[in-house]
Amino acid sequence: MHRLLLLGTGGIAGQHMTEFGLLEDCRIVACADAIPGRAQAFAEQNEIGHAFEGLETALQWGAFDAAINATPDGVHKATTLALLAAGKHVFCEKPLAPTYAEALEMTEAAEQAGLINMVNLTYRNSPALQMARQMVEAGEIGELRHVEASYRQSWLVSKAWGDWRSLDTWLWRLSTSHGSTGVLGDVGIHILDFATFGAGQDIVSLHADLATFPKAEGDQIGAYTLDANDSVAMTVRFSSGALGTVLATRYATGHLNELTLKLHGTRGALLVETDGKQSSLKGCFGEDIDRAQWRAIELLAVKRNARRFVDALASGVNGEPSFHRAADMQKLIDAAFESSATGRAAITG
């Protein structure tokens, strides 16, 4: 039985309780949070045996094998390095770190320690994405020519998830002084991973344009300066020479939380769609190409990230998506910031 520490008991913690709670060969034995009283309340609510006010006291106790790092983005690095130094395996929320250099430092620390390290890029759980990757690798769409990837959210124009103007849960995501790197850092990592994993190729260069739109008088709400980017559009080149477009925005009116990936090849095409809960895959092949007709493709169940992490703990062989993968995606994010600031393409390969 693998013993897990849940570090951070904020909004995402409930999802980890559900995901890991479904697995019979692991158990969350403790939780920790830096905010006084929050870990104890979470432990009582979820019947967790031990609660600690902060990571240091949890490490002093030490009776766990691995940690789920669900802390705020800005402290992923410090907390993860402390866990690794204590010999604990780590399953970390995205983004791994604010910059590629910091993500690489974390990756090297985990690899040098020989510890299992994974990042919760949740859309890897999509059966449609996994099936598309297999079909691309099998050569079913021929040579890849064009990729279209988009992540559309609308919470800046919709109250479906609550009113962002009055909720800290959303406001911090709009403020760089509160640790946000905007839509690019928040969900850009997802769509970049989605696109490159589905295509089975790396992005070797990109040109990005970032936009921050006015949202309140003086671009300020209380302590929050609303200066983080809201939308990003990129043109990218893949290692094969295929051209692509990548979009992420919080202003996609009419879309709640939708990821789309189109893979166009010389022998066929694939369309992946998911909202994080349900996913679908369609293909256009053979005679359907002449009629531009798309047909649904049957999907198979896939291992979810939590399952892959626990399997990696059992086998000692690192799982995916790894810290190394998350660092590679952070390199693309850094390049997008550079490109937008300079107005020039950035080489990433």
Paired tokens of 171 = 């406001």
pLDDT band at 74; cut points 50, 70, 90 = confident
Report pLDDT for 52: 97
Terminal Cα-to-Cα distance of the chain (whole angstroms): 41
Report the predicted TM-score, pTM, of the whole model to 2 decimal places: 0.94
Q: What is the CATH number of domain 2-121?
A: 3.40.50.720
Report pLDDT for 11: 84
- Please check the confidence at residue 268 and state whether its pLDDT lies above 90: yes
Give the residue extent of every domain in the chain: 2-121, 123-307+330-347
- Please check the confidence at residue 221 and state whether its pLDDT lies above 90: yes
Report pLDDT for 349: 82
Region of 48 please: left (phi>0), alpha (psi -120 to 50) or beta: beta
Q: pLDDT (tens digit, 9 = 90+) per residue, 34-46? A: 999 999 999 999 9
Paired tokens of 275 = 């909202």
Report H helices in the chain. 13-21, 38-46, 55-61, 76-85, 100-113, 127-137, 168-171, 182-183, 189-199, 288-291, 305-315, 323-342
* Residue 146 CA: distances (Å) to CA of 58, 129, 237: 49, 17, 9
Enumerate the β-bridge partners of residue 148: 245, 262
Report pLDDT for 72: 87
Q: What is the CATH number of domain 123-307+330-347?
A: 3.30.360.10
Candidates 189, 163, 185, 162; CA nearest to 175 is: 185
pLDDT band at 179; cut points 50, 70, 90 = confident
pLDDT band at 96; cut points 50, 70, 90 = very high
What is the overall mean pLDDT for the chain?
Answer: 96
CA angle centred on 278, ends 272 and 284, rounded to 5°:
25
Q: Residue range 180-188: average pLDDT?
A: 93
Distance CA 90, CA 26 (A): 14
Q: pLDDT (tens digit, 9 = 90+) per residue, 232-266? A: 999 999 999 999 999 999 999 999 999 999 999 99
Report pLDDT for 171: 94
195, 239 contact by CB (below 8 A): no
Report pLDDT for 34: 94
Question: What is the percentage of the chain residues whose pLDDT exceeds 90?
Answer: 95
Q: Residue range 271-299: average pLDDT?
A: 97
